[in-house]
């Protein structure tokens, strides 16, 4: 170890056996000595180091001070001098490579009216690698959490739609059979009543022949008046017609439930989104009609390939949100459009709108502006996940006090997940 300050051979030996690099430095920032570990770290011999400015060995980008943690001279010249000075810096080795070092410097008592410092150098590359590995582990954990969260949302959606599907299948099975024979019986009864009224009409034509039997004719007329036969003849037919209309309405309700949940197929298929909107509106019934006028701006979309039950669930969530955003009465406008590769649906409401600070959070799981107990915060998150699963997009825009627009865009054909 070169010596600017005289040290004993024993101390020189100690310094040369240290794992840390040790430099001597004067107040002009010249290197006055270097131990073997410093030579190893920096790749220069002590003869090449001694007498040169410390700044000569800083990485080029830091040599002008622009990238250095501290402006001015290297190690800022030890600041208050009486305390250890710590800094991390990048040194340039003789072979052109760089080394990250942790520097601990301390001013020594003056010698020959000069101030010197001892500088310890520790390689922190391994520590930085550990830090980088730790940061990557945190990033991987966050990514895994996001994947798990998305999987949980899809599982919740699958369970929800399975429940709706089972309900629809049960309702269809339980109602279709009795409705079928009630409808059949009513049609038969309608024909039989028509026959009965025909026979009754024939008897009425024979009443003129009973003029020779006034007592019998009076009894018949009294019975007809008591039964209000004219009204019965008309009302029986009306009752049958209304009953058949009621049966048809029940059948349509069951069909709408089946169309909404698609119990016959939970797989990808070609469907018409406008029909899906209509079946969802029928399912919601008074929940929508009591709050808003529905304005349709349909373009006559072609069918697209999707999982219909899931897309109908998205429609339901968005339509319910639109209705809830309208406090008294308002308008929900439905628009559709398409091009060669995509189809889109817009659901616009004239409700209270969404605050700007909330707009970026509405698709996050469990985020809700509803009072406690009135919303889970999963509706829009589930809808967003379904549309992403279809390789589409769901975006929202809103003006506070004027309403919101949700736009769903979907590819017209299924996207292969393996190449997406």
Q: What is the pLDDT of residue 103?
A: 78
Structure tokens at 378: 């999963």
**Runs of H (alpha helix) within 266-352:** 273-284, 286-289, 308-325
Cβ atoms of residues 325 and 403 within 8 Å: yes
3-class SS of residue 93:
coil
79 vs 184, which has greater pLDDT?
A: 184
Distance CA 275, CA 303 (A): 10
Mean pLDDT of 308-315: 87
User: Strand pairing of 98-107 and 85-92?
Assistant: antiparallel
Which range among 24-38, 172-186, 228-242, 316-330 has the greatest average pLDDT? 316-330
- For the segment 10-16, the average pLDDT, to the nearest whole number, is 68
What's residue 372's pLDDT?
47
Share of residues in the chain with pLDDT > 90 (%): 16
Q: Please, which pLDDT band fits residue 170 given cuts at 50, 70 and 90?
A: low
pLDDT at residue 164 greater than cutoff 80: no
Mean pLDDT value across the chain: 77
Residue 3, pLDDT score: 46
Task: Report the sign of the C-alpha dihedral through residues 286, 290, 291, 296, in that order.
Answer: positive
pLDDT number for residue 319: 92
pLDDT in tens, 46-80: 888 888 888 777 764 444 444 444 455 466 566 66
- Which residues neighbour 6 within 8 Å (Cβ) at sequence distance 6 or greater? none
As a whole number of angstroms, the distance between CA 274 and CA 337 comes to 10
Gap between the Cα atoms of 7 and 332, Å rounded: 90
Instruction: Take residue 185 and report the two structure tokens written for it.
Output: 């019986």
pLDDT tens for each residue of 185-225:
888 888 888 777 777 777 777 676 676 677 777 777 787 77
Encode 402-418: b = buried (16+ Cβ within 10 Å), e = exposed: ebbbbbbbbbbeeeeee
Rg (CA), the chain: 44
Distance CA 156, CA 158 (A): 5
For the chain, give percent helix, strand, coil, nearest 5: 50, 20, 30
What does DSSP say about strands 330-338 and 292-297: parallel, antiparallel, or unpaired? parallel
Residues in the chain: 420
pLDDT given for residue 60 in this prediction: 44
* pLDDT for position 177: 73
Predicted TM-score of the model (pTM)? 0.46
Distance, in Å, from the CA atom of 337 to the CA atom of 339, rounded to the nearest integer, reads 7
Q: Given this model, what pLDDT does residue 61 score?
A: 41
What average pLDDT score do residues 303-322 get?
A: 89
To the nearest 10°, the Cα dihedral for 13, 15, 16, 19?
140
- Grade residue 258 by pLDDT with cuts at 50, 70 and 90: low
Least confident of 35-39, 212-216, 404-408: 212-216
269-288 mean pLDDT = 87
How far apart (Å, rounded) are the C-alpha atoms in residues 303 and 411? 11
């Amino acid at each position: 170890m070169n010596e600017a300050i005289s040290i004993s051979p024993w101390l020189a030996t100690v310094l040369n056996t240290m794992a840390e690099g040790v430099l001597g430095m004067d107040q002009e920032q010249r290197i006055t000595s270097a131990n073997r570990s410093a030579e190893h770290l920096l790749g220069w011999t002590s003869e090449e180091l001694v007498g040169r400015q410390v700044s000569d060995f800083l990485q080029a980008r830091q040599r002008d001070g622009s990238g250095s943690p501290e402006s001015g001279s290297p190690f800022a010249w030890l600041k208050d001098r009486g305390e250890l000075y710590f800094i991390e810096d990048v040194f340039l080795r003789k072979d052109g490579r760089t080394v990250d070092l942790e520097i601990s410097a301390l001013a020594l008592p003056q010698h020959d009216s000069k101030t010197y410092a001892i500088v310890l150098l520790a390689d922190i590359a391994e520590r930085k690698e550990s830090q980088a590995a730790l940061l990557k582990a945190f990033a991987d954990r966050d990514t895994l959490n996001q994947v798990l969260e998305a999987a949980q949302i899809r599982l919740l959606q699958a369970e929800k739609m399975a429940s709706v599907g089972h309900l629809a299948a049960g309702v269809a099975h339980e109602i279709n059979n009795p409705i079928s024979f009630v409808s059949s019986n009513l049609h038969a009864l309608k024909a039989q009543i028509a026959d009965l009224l025909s026979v009754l009409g024939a008897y009425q034509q024979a009443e003129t022949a009973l003029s020779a039997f006034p007592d019998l004719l009076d009894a018949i007329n009294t019975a007809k008046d008591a039964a209000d036969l004219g009204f019965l003849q008309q009302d029986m037919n009306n009752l049958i017609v209304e009953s058949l209309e009621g049966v048809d309405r029940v059948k349509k309700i069951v069909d709408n439930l089946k169309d909404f949940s698609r119990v016959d197929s939970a797989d990808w298929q070609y469907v018409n989104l406008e029909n899906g909107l209509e079946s969802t509106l029928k399912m919601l019934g008074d929940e929508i009609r009591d709050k808003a006028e529905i304005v349709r701006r349909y373009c006559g979309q072609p069918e697209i390939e999707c999982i219909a039950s899931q897309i109908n669930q998205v429609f339901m969530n968005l339509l319910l949100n639109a209705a809830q955003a309208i406090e008294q009465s308002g308008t929900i406008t439905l628009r559709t459009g398409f091009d060669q590769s995509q189809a889109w649906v817009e659901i616009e409401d004239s409700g209270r709108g969404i605050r700007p600070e909330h707009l970026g959070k509405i698709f996050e799981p469990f985020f809700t502006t509803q009072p406690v107990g009135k919303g889970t915060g999963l509706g829009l998150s589930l809808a967003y996940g379904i549309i992403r699963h279809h390789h589409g997009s769901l975006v929202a825009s809103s003006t506070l006090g004027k309403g919101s627009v949700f736009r769903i865009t979907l590819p017209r054909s299924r996207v292969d997940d393996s190449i997406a």
